Chains A and B, each alone.
Chain A
Amino acid sequence: MDREIELRLVARLTAGDPAAFEAIYEAYRPRLFGFLVRLSRRRDVAEDLLEETWLRLVTRATTLTADARLAPWLFTVARNLYLSWRRSRAVDSTRTSELDPAWPAPERGDSPFEAAARAELERRVEAALARLPLRDREVLLLVGVEGMTPSEAAGVYGLPAVTVRARLHRARERLAAEIRASRPESRAKAG
């Protein structure tokens, strides 16, 4: 989102303008939902956390500073809500189950062969992400999927950017290893 537009939207939202909320909601809702669903691996949980995140935004809009950045603010709230949910449910494993195979996703208009190949790659990447520890998964989602800079992601964590870069480097290596290990030829060799 263009920074000037973002600043105007923040000002209008702080003043209680519903049209500003609509614009922010349309821009960030799918991104937040994708982030939450890949963190929690459960659509029902992601939907609940998504709702709570947006309610936090509108109820706390008056506390936003004039130069607030929406993406780090929203992802910070969403991440904190997810961590609270995990603690409340005593989810003790840092790794989560793989996605539901009935995971609905939009069509891309590929040929059947391309669609099958893409679906296979996506399935392997989703599974590889799910096997990563939470801290690796979330940094990859924020930077690799959501397109945040390491500095913006550092704002979400409340950590120095250099720490996030190191974490990102480690997470990338782990994900690459997981993806390579999940290739059919790798599995055949292992078997």
Chain B
Amino acid sequence: MSMTTWEPGDVVEEGLSALRAHDAPPERVERIRARCVAALAARRRTEEARGWSLAGWRGWLEPALALGLGALYLAEAISRALAVYR
């Protein structure tokens, strides 16, 4: 009890401390737990799928870009070399 301004023997403090704890029935407790854990798992799956999708996209785009830029560089080098010999 955090109502520290109350006097000892206070009728309200005494009364509220007489109240017992309650809980939902066990089957409802389990149902709520199952629904929440399922919701958390669904969220994790969605996040993982999004992560995989991004990883897959990066998986082909990065090598393609590197290959393209490499080809451009090589073409330019060859053309300059040819220009020197002409």
User: Which A residues have a C-beta under 8 Å from some C-beta of B?
Assistant: 16-18, 21-22, 25, 29-31, 33-34, 37-38, 46-47, 50-51, 54-55, 57-59, 61-62, 105-106, 108, 118, 121-122, 124-126, 128, 140, 143-145, 147-149, 168, 172, 175-176, 179-180
Contacts and interface: CB of A to CB of B under 8 A. Distances in A.
Most buried by A among B2, B11, B12: B12
Interface in B10-38: 10-16, 18-25, 28-29, 31-33, 35-37
B21 A29 contact: no
Contact of B33 (A22, A124, A168): A22
Contact of A128 (B2, B15, B35): B15
A18 B19 contact: no
B3 interface: yes
Size bracket, chain B contacts:
20 to 34
B28 to A, nearest CB: 5
A21 B37 contact: yes
A57 B40 CA distance: 10
Given A55-B35, A57-B36, A121-B18, A143 B2 contact: yes
Nearest to B35: A55
A58 B40 CA distance: 6
Given A57-B36, A140-B16, A172-B12, A105 B22 contact: yes
Given A18-B41, A148-B2, A176-B12, A125 B36 contact: no
Contacts of A46: 24
Contacts of B33: 22, 25
Contacts, number: 108
Nearest to B31: A51
Nearest to B2: A147
Contacts of A47: 24-25, 28
A16 B43 CA distance: 7
Contact of A51 (B21, B35, B37, B44): B35
B65 interface: no
Sort A-B residue pairs by CB-CB distance and give the 4 closest, nearest first: A125-B15, A30-B23, A144-B16, A16-B44
25 contacts: A16-B43, A16-B44, A17-B40, A18-B41, A30-B23, A33-B24, A38-B19, A46-B24, A54-B35, A55-B35, A58-B40, A59-B43, A106-B20, A118-B18, A125-B15, A126-B19, A140-B16, A143-B2, A144-B3, A144-B13, A145-B19, A175-B12, A176-B10, A176-B11, A179-B12
